[in-house]
A and B are shown apart, each in its own frame.
Chain A
Amino acid sequence: AIRMTQSPSSFSASTGDRVTITCRASQGISSYLAWYQQKPGKAPKLLIYAASTLLSGVPSRFSGSGSGTDFTLTISCLQSEDFATYYCQQYYSYPRTFGQGTKVEIK
């Protein structure tokens, strides 16, 4: 199975900050990568697919980049509603695998 490793596991930030989360795959996955946001007690929400394509309705402050094994999720100007846990997921092969998650907390 392809292992997905996110960093950092958690961090604190302030509203208005620019934040970046990284995701590394244990082998090349081309651009078959998605990013999800999850808030406590809620289902995950798809933000980005194909590494950099924003799902319709997702604010433009979210962006994704990368291909192969290294990927990033960037939030350009953190808003209060963005404090959540973020997961990357590869859909290059089965079994589908997620990163361990990155929790973004309020500083």
Chain B
Amino acid sequence: QVQLVESGGGVVQPGRSLRLSCAASGFTFTNYGMHWVRQAPGKGLEWVAVIWYDGNNKYFADSVKGRFTISRDNSKNTLYLQMNSLRAEDTALYFCARDTNTGGDAFDIWGPGTMVTVSS
């Protein structure tokens, strides 16, 4: 069935880096834009980044611009989020989500999330 599964979360010290992965299955990955969305403990949803279906367009939230990068490997049906210079305020559950289109629409499929804790 259509599925997204995130991995790579954990506890990391401020200033360090972490790479999240999102494995997609059950659909043609190359046809869809993909997003990362995060949720701090007890808080609401915050959109983080998007990469279009072909990887040619990427957009970021101001809060992560210059620190996070998004990429995809269409041969492996996998989405990535490289997070550098991590801060305490990056602590959150990170979800990957599928765009209903190539990158400009709502998010119809979500993974269960992977937790990132930034703490010394």
Give chain A's interface residues, CB within 8 Å of chain B: 1, 34, 36, 38, 42-46, 49-50, 55, 87, 89, 91, 94-101
B70 to A: closest C-beta gap in Å: 13
| CB-contact partner of A87 in B45, B59, B60, B113, under 8 A | B45
B interface majority secondary structure = strand
Which residues of chain A are near B104, meaning CB under 8 Å?
A: 91
A91 to B: closest C-beta gap in Å: 6
B44 x A49 contact (CB < 8 A): no
Q: State how many residues of chain B have any CB contact under 8 Å with chain A.
A: 22
**CA–CA, A34 to B111, complex, Å?**
18
Which residues of chain A are near B110, meaning CB under 8 Å?
A: 43-45
Which residues of chain A are near B37, meaning CB under 8 Å?
A: 44
Give chain B's interface residues, CB within 8 Å of chain A: 35, 37, 44-47, 50, 59-62, 95, 100, 104-108, 110-113
A46 x B113 contact (CB < 8 A): no
Which residues of chain A are near B95, meaning CB under 8 Å?
A: 43-44
| CB-contact partner of A89 in B60, B100, B106, B112, under 8 A | B106
B44 x A96 contact (CB < 8 A): no
B59 x A95 contact (CB < 8 A): yes
